[in-house]
Amino acid sequence: MTPHNLYMLLAERLLLHSDHLTMATYNALYEILTEHISNQILYGKHAEPESHYRLENPMILKVVATLIRQSKGCEELLEVKKLFLSDMTLLCNNNKENRRTVLQMSVWQEWLIAMAYIHPRSSEEQRISDMVYSLFRMLLHHAIKYEYGGWRVWVDTLAIVHSKVSLEEYKLHFAQMYEHYDQRRVDHITDPAVRRQRPISTISGLDRCGSVHETRATTVEQRPTEEQPPDIVQVRDQEDQRRSSTVTFPSIVPSTPSQLPDPVPSEE
């Protein structure tokens, strides 16, 4: 089934008949996972797995995780999720080969961290997240202590978990920004006077109106005072002062005849 990706086809077909993973469907998948078939359909919790149970079809783990992630949230889904994590914990804790089988799966950290709640809102969600973190501790301890090159599993887990947490933080931050924007939006107000009195709210959650005015005021205060160009009257006064202060030198030639020297008589 693995070469033809029939396991994922199984998850798609099961979601066509129900909007969430039911307890009876999970019990049937659990029987396929461990190859311990029951004689009757179980609508409640099945018995705990024994220590000699092995993961005969480990890809069923990813099928169950996909069904839980794509199902509609309800009380029964929480019970199925807790039962699934409890079965995984018992199967991996009692058998070393089961832990090795999970570690050999491709990108098992992705669907396992998707089972946890990064920001739990109730005690049940907190309990489910603790069960997921306990599974991570168990599997990583086995990888580092018993498997060759187990530190690579640790590095891959850090990268995948970091991307998941960063995505959840981004979703939470964006939801808070949109809530702030929705509370302060003014596009539904038709009165221009009322709209002018309220600040402009953007999707970034910041009020640009106040910041624009503060920026303009700061720019005006920090702008150096420039000298205004002189008017025409000031120019004329400056020219008159310049003329009056001009130094005049006396002429070398006297201006009156009395100041001329007497002619010298000739010898003739």
Distance of CA 49 to the CA centre of its chain: 41
- Concatenating the DSSP letter of every residue in 37-87 gives --SS--SSPPPPPPTT---SSTHHHHHHHHHHHHSPP-HHHHHHHHHHHHH
Which helix (H) or strand (E) covers residue 236, if one does? helix 232-244
For the segment 142-148, the average pLDDT, to the nearest whole number, is 92
What is the residue-averaged pLDDT of the chain? 78
Residue 257 CA to residue 168 CA, distance in Å, equals 111
pLDDT tens-digit map of 34-68: 999 888 888 889 989 988 999 999 999 999 999 99
Token couple for 257: 């005849």
Quick one: pLDDT band at residue 201, thresholds 50, 70, 90? low
**Please, what is the angle between helix 23-34 and helix 75-94, to 10°?**
20
Quick one: pLDDT band at residue 256, thresholds 50, 70, 90? very low
Token couple for 154: 């640790």
Residue 254 CA to residue 252 CA, distance in Å, equals 6
- Closest by CA position to 182, among listed 203, 196, 199: 203
Per-domain residue ranges of the chain: 6-149
* pTM exceeds 0.85 for this model: no
